[in-house]
Amino acid sequence: MPLHIATPLIESPFLSRAANCPVWLKLEALQPPGSFKLRGIGAACEEHLRRGARRFLSSSGGNAGLAVAYAGRRLSLPVTVVVPETTSRRTVELLHLEQAQVIVHGSSWHEANLLAQSMIEPTDAFIHPFDDPLLWEGHASLIDEVASAGPTPDAVVLSVGGGGLLCGVIEGLRRNRLGHVPVIAVETAGTASLNQSLRAGKIVDLEAITGVATSLGAKRVCEQAFRWSQEHPVRSVVVSDRAALAACERFLADHRLLVEPACGASLALAYERAEALVGLRRVLFIVCGGATASLDQIRAWAAGLP
Ligand SMILES: *Cc1c(COP(=O)(O)O)cnc(C)c1O
């Protein structure tokens, strides 16, 4: 039994109407730790346990850390998560609820990650949030579920941070003979590491990560994500923070599910009737979820926009 659950795949009358094409949702927001990340991270943790790991380490103050904490509790291994001081109180609380040891260190992820790296013992497994083939293989299971459910989508919409979800979805499409199905890869303007790399024709580092989609905040995408974007039909789209936040509000009203702006970014394509969707007859949106933002936080972000 894997640690993740098989999630519902439902048609959305709300997003279909907004987008003017049939929209299907894969509800990864319903994974126990609140995001798709459990698929890959759960699989990776199980594999590391088989190989003899005695502790899981993470430096993610976001959904990856939450997934590692959940996996560790389920597998009865201790988990240590080193997070920067910028991590929300809510996230630290959620990590504690999963019985993880939380070390708050440094003013940015870089410093937290350095400390975490310095703590690695021979019997520890350090779980990367996106750049690991074990993760991609685990994420691919969500496409296995879509493929066995029936009709083929004619495009998949997903959000891109470091590109782990993108790698997993493309791996899943390929292993289900759906290698022709295009992926629409969505980022916010302040986190557009894939978009900028595609424009430059090579992987580039963002100078800074800005805006509200904190879970998309990787300074550079992993190499495999860039490589896939050359070999698989991948279309890159950038949305504003405003659109991502508005999508969170509308999705909550429509489907009664609260997701992070990282996920709202994808949903915004439907709510804004994006040109990328024109002519499609069955679009699959990966509702990647995210547990780190409260409704108050989302509204405060929206109120703070210029
Ligand atoms: C991690 C995350 C993403 C981005 O996934 P990557 O694998 O880093 O591209 C998107 N949405 C949510 C909610 C996440 O937690």
Across 4-13, 81-90, 230-239, least confident range: 81-90
Q: Which residues approach ligand 1 with their CB closer than 6 A?
A: 35, 37, 62-63, 130, 159-166, 215-216, 218, 260, 262-263, 288-290
Expressed in angstroms and rounded, the spacing between residue 214 Cα and the centre of ligand 1 is 9
Distance CA(252)–CA(7), nearest Å, equals 18
Q: What is the pLDDT of residue 110?
A: 87
Distance CA(287)–CA(304), nearest Å, equals 25
Asked if residue 119 has pLDDT above 90, the reply is yes
Asked if residue 29 has pLDDT above 90, the reply is yes
Q: What is the pLDDT of residue 108?
A: 85
| Confidence bin at 10 (pLDDT 50/70/90) | very high
Asked if residue 238 has pLDDT above 90, the reply is yes
Q: What is the pLDDT of residue 163?
A: 98
Q: What are phi and psi of 134, to 5 degrees?
A: -60, -40
Helix (H) or strand (E) holding 83: strand 79-83
Please state the atom number of ligand 1 nearest to the C-alpha of residue 262. Answer: 11
What is the rounded average pLDDT for all residues in the chain?
Answer: 97
Expressed in angstroms and rounded, the spacing between residue 155 Cα and the centre of ligand 1 is 19
Expressed in angstroms and rounded, the spacing between residue 290 Cα and the centre of ligand 1 is 8
Q: Model confidence over 258-279: pLDDT tens digits? A: 999 999 999 999 999 999 999 9
Q: What is the pLDDT of residue 20?
A: 96
| Confidence bin at 297 (pLDDT 50/70/90) | very high
* Nearest-CA residue for atom 14 of ligand 1: 215
The answer to whether 181 and 156 are in contact (CB under 8 A) is yes
Q: What are phi and psi of 201, to 5 degrees?
A: 80, 10
Expressed in angstroms and rounded, the spacing between residue 65 Cα and the centre of ligand 1 is 12
Distance CA(98)–CA(72), nearest Å, equals 8
Expressed in angstroms and rounded, the spacing between residue 164 Cα and the centre of ligand 1 is 7
> Which segments within the chain are labelled E, that is strand?
9-11, 23-26, 55-58, 79-83, 101-104, 124-126, 155-159, 183-188, 234-239, 283-286
Q: At what angle do helices 37-50 and 141-149 cross, to 10 degrees?
A: 120
Q: What is the pTM of this model?
A: 0.97
Helix (H) or strand (E) holding 169: helix 164-175
The answer to whether 252 and 258 are in contact (CB under 8 A) is yes
Q: What is the pLDDT of residue 76?
A: 98
DSSP string, 106-159: SSSHHHHHHHHHHT--TTEEE--SS--HHHHHHHTHHHHHHHHHSSPPSEEEEE
Fold held by 9-36+134-303 = Rossmann fold (3.40.50)
The answer to whether 236 and 229 are in contact (CB under 8 A) is yes
Distance of CA 231 to the CA centre of its chain: 21
Probe residue for ligand 1, chosen from 30, 41, 59, 63 as the CB with the greatest number of ligand atoms within 8 Å: 63
Q: What is the CATH code for 37-130?
A: 3.40.50.1100
Tokens of 89: 């109180």
Tokens of 38: 């459990």
CA angle 76, 38, 91 (to 5 degrees): 85
Q: What is the pLDDT of residue 109?
A: 86
Question: In this predicted model, which residue has the larger pLDDT, 229 or 150?
Answer: 229
Range list for CATH 3.40.50.1100 in the chain: 9-36+134-303, 37-130
| Confidence bin at 103 (pLDDT 50/70/90) | very high
Torsion angle, CA of 224/227/232/237, rounded to 10 degrees? 90
**Residues above pLDDT 70, as percent of the chain:** 100
The answer to whether 248 and 264 are in contact (CB under 8 A) is yes
Asked if residue 91 has pLDDT above 90, the reply is yes
Asked if residue 306 has pLDDT above 90, the reply is no
Asked if residue 257 has pLDDT above 90, the reply is yes
Query: Under DSSP, is residue 279 helix (H, G, I), strand (E, B) or coil?
Result: coil
Mean pLDDT of 210-226: 95
In this structure, are strands 9-11 and 23-26 parallel, antiparallel, or unpaired? Answer: antiparallel
Distance CA(16)–CA(282), nearest Å, equals 9
